[in-house]
Amino acid sequence: MAEVDVEPAVTNIPKINAGKHLGFAWGPGDILVYETLYKSSGMCAKGPVCPFIHEVRKDEDIYSPILRKLFNESHHIFVGLQTIREDLPSKNRKSQFVSISKNYRSVIRACMEELQQVAVSTRDADVATRHGNQVSILLATELIWNLCEVLFIDAAPAGSLLLHLLDWVRLHKADVDEKAREVLQSESPAEHNDYWDVVVSYVLQGRLEEARQMLVKQATLQPAARNMYKLMDTLLSKMPFYNPSGTQTPTEFEVKWRHWHDEVDRCLQDNSFASNRHLELICKILVGDEDTLLEHKDLLSTWYHFLVTRLLFCHPTVKPTELHYYAQSCMTMFLDARSVPEPLDSILLAAFEFDIHQVIKDCSIALNNWWFVAHLTDLLDHCKLLQSHNLHFGSNLREFLLLEYASGLFTHHSLWQLAVDYFDHCPEFGRVYLELQIERVPLDTEHKALKVLRICEQRQMSEQVRSICKIMAMRALRNNRLGSALSWSIRAKDAAFATLISERFLQDYCARGTFSDLDLIDNLGPAMLLSDRLTFLGKYREFHKLYGEKRFREAAKLLLSLMTAKIAPRSFWMTLLTDALPLLEQKEVIFSADQTHELMFCLEELTSSLNNTRPSTDRPMQEEDIELTKVELLRLALARNLAMAIVKEGTVES
């Protein structure tokens, strides 16, 4: 489903011969639509051009700050649901599933109340309308979810089923409480215009205790009719309600209810309330007179409220398997024959028919995002109610809906992190989707890149890890942040890139005489083995540390090994030999005779290669003079050191 949640601005598509046409570009889940010109016969078409770019979003709700709370809170519930153990007793599992379902509904209701407050308090008409529409959608969402909880998740049996349905209607028909407050706060509640509407509404919802309390106020105003009100109070107080935790069986309850129903019917036949049309109306409702109920559509307001009221006063022990018959007949009776059922009506009817898959299908079409169907289907799947329904293209229904929902979250700058957990719990295609989607996350900052990288590393997504590190390394290198670039290339285990950056470090050192990002280079550890150039960089820095600590013999040995092991680039040999000069000129002999011979060999090898390349170079004469001076100084220092080393070693031997 790719619904457009808001009405996009109307864009007329001009005819091709007018020189204009419509262009579009895909974003990460969105489309940018814009008007373009094209060239004809080498000339640009002229005429008025629409300056607007229209953004068509796949899912507008994820951009609502209030609804983002819905996505965040439900994510925690979803993750908790996945941890429920399969080996728990079915009774314990059922109670946990019911509790989780209620948690989902409480999140929906909290968002709905916050949206309602904003809609009422704002002065912006567009904002009020948009939030009002979202409230209506969430209201319908919770209505459907609550019914699914009663019928599928809790799976209430006969007797208890009606009690749950009464709670369902009362929760979603709260206007009677507002009206009752207005009546009770008036100077004379019994004479208020809405007094009898409140009493009748209480009776229609099975709230007989509240109805009795309201009738007391009327009885005090009519002393002559006190006996009539007392009789009605007795009938209302004696109406039996099934107690699931009691010892009474459904059959015993039905017998008791029949006796009460017959008593109410006798009062009606005896015209006990004939002199008071309001009490007679209540009596007709108590016996379940369908014509009377249908005359009060305005108080019932919906066919499903009519259904529950009809069951309450006619079939209180209705079985789940009988619900579809009563639901269909009540909808037919309540709705006008010419009216077409709304999508909500069809969804609720499918639920009463216990057609779970039709409920999910209709909700997918009617609702404006995947949140509802994804989470409800996941919960129903954990309840083992969807095991038989697989799709033709390899994935089951639960996974398909979770993948679609999570893919939508990935288009948001912060909600994409929630989507990762949804993909993790899709065993068949979740990893593939995550690999594709994670590559589309814009790496705006290094902090965000580290978040993405951590997710990939935790899931051993090596290809994505390398890709992210390369992107960040290139970006750092372009900004001349060599330390960061080297760090990312090491993390990517990219030897070629690490070599390139190491070269830049060495060039930087030659130009400035110091290393940047010393902390990083000092703590390379095993990472320096990634490439020869990186190894050289780390070891060369180690040489400087040894020299600074006056550990001259260790420094000399390391310097010589860098050259003789061919780790150092040839272009850097002169720098290394120059670094050897202070060691050669120490009062104490640092380099042995053999080491000095090796240095001499390196110097001669370097000078011969320089002589061979000199004719083709365009270096200034001044640079060549400096090179020659360095070579002469090195030869002199090496010769002097060799003589001192031979004398010292000869003395020691003798």
Task: Give the tens place of pLDDT for each residue, 325-376.
Answer: 999 999 999 987 667 888 999 999 999 999 999 999 999 998 878 999 999 9
Q: What is the mean pLDDT of residues 587-602?
A: 82
If asked whether residues 182 and 211 sit together in one domain, one would say yes
In a domain, 531, yes or no: yes
Rounded to whole angstroms, the Cα distance separating 361 from 417 reads: 27
> Domain ends where: 549, 578, 596?
549
Read off the DSSP letter of residue 340: P
Residue 245, classified by CB atoms within 10 Å of its CB into exposed (0-12), middle (13-18) or buried (19+), is exposed
Q: What is the mean pLDDT of residues 271-275?
A: 88
How many domains are there within the chain? 5
If asked whether residues 483 and 500 sit together in one domain, one would say yes
pLDDT of residue 24: 58
Strand (E) or helix (H) holding 33 = strand 30-37
Residue 38 has pLDDT above 50, yes or no: no
If asked whether residues 72 and 48 sit together in one domain, one would say no
- State which residues form the domain around 210: 168-318
C-alpha distances (whole Å) from 293 to each of 53, 109, 219, 281, 340 are: 54, 30, 24, 9, 22
If asked whether residues 190 and 289 sit together in one domain, one would say yes
Task: Give the tens place of pLDDT for each residue, 402-421.
Answer: 999 999 888 888 889 999 99
In a domain, 243, yes or no: yes
Rounded to whole angstroms, the Cα distance separating 90 from 343 reads: 34
Residue 15 has pLDDT above 80, yes or no: no
If asked whether residues 641 and 606 sit together in one domain, one would say yes
Please state the pTM of the whole predicted model: 0.77
> Is 566 within 8 Å of 533 (Cβ atoms)?
no
Which residues, in sequence order, are bridge partners of residue 56? 31
Residue 30 has pLDDT above 90, yes or no: no
In a domain, 492, yes or no: yes
Task: Give the tens place of pLDDT for each residue, 156-202.
Answer: 888 889 999 999 999 888 788 889 999 989 888 888 899 999 999 99
If asked whether residues 187 and 257 sit together in one domain, one would say yes
pLDDT of residue 520: 66
If asked whether residues 175 and 305 sit together in one domain, one would say yes
Higher per-residue pLDDT: 147 or 618: 147
Confidence of residue 124 (pLDDT cuts 50, 70, 90): confident
In a domain, 180, yes or no: yes
> Domain ends where: 266, 293, 318?
318
In a domain, 607, yes or no: yes
Residue 514 has pLDDT above 80, yes or no: no
Assign 618 to helix, strand or coil: coil
If asked whether residues 179 and 305 sit together in one domain, one would say yes
If asked whether residues 514 and 498 sit together in one domain, one would say yes
* Cα 175 versus chain centre, distance: 34
If asked whether residues 204 and 300 sit together in one domain, one would say yes
Confidence of residue 28 (pLDDT cuts 50, 70, 90): very low
If asked whether residues 174 and 305 sit together in one domain, one would say yes
Residue 31 has pLDDT above 70, yes or no: no
pLDDT of residue 261: 93
Rounded to whole angstroms, the Cα distance separating 332 from 206 reads: 23
> Domain ends where: 288, 318, 348?
318
pLDDT of residue 422: 95
Tokens of 535: 């190894």
Rounded to whole angstroms, the Cα distance separating 168 from 308 reads: 9
Residue 642 has pLDDT above 90, yes or no: no
**Contacts for 591 with CB less than 8 Å, ≥ 6 apart:** 556, 560, 580, 583, 584, 599, 641, 645
In a domain, 525, yes or no: yes
Q: What is the mean pLDDT of residues 20-33?
A: 54
If asked whether residues 174 and 308 sit together in one domain, one would say yes
Residue 7 has pLDDT above 60, yes or no: no
In a domain, 521, yes or no: yes
Rounded to whole angstroms, the Cα distance separating 310 from 303 reads: 10
In a domain, 87, yes or no: yes
Rounded to whole angstroms, the Cα distance separating 537 from 539 reads: 6
> Is 392 within 8 Å of 427 (Cβ atoms)?
no
Tokens of 302: 């919906």
Residue whose C-alpha is closest to residue 471's, from 451, 499, 495, 442? 442
pLDDT of residue 344: 93
Task: Give the tens place of pLDDT for each residue, 462-505.
Answer: 899 988 988 888 888 888 888 788 888 888 787 887 778 777 87
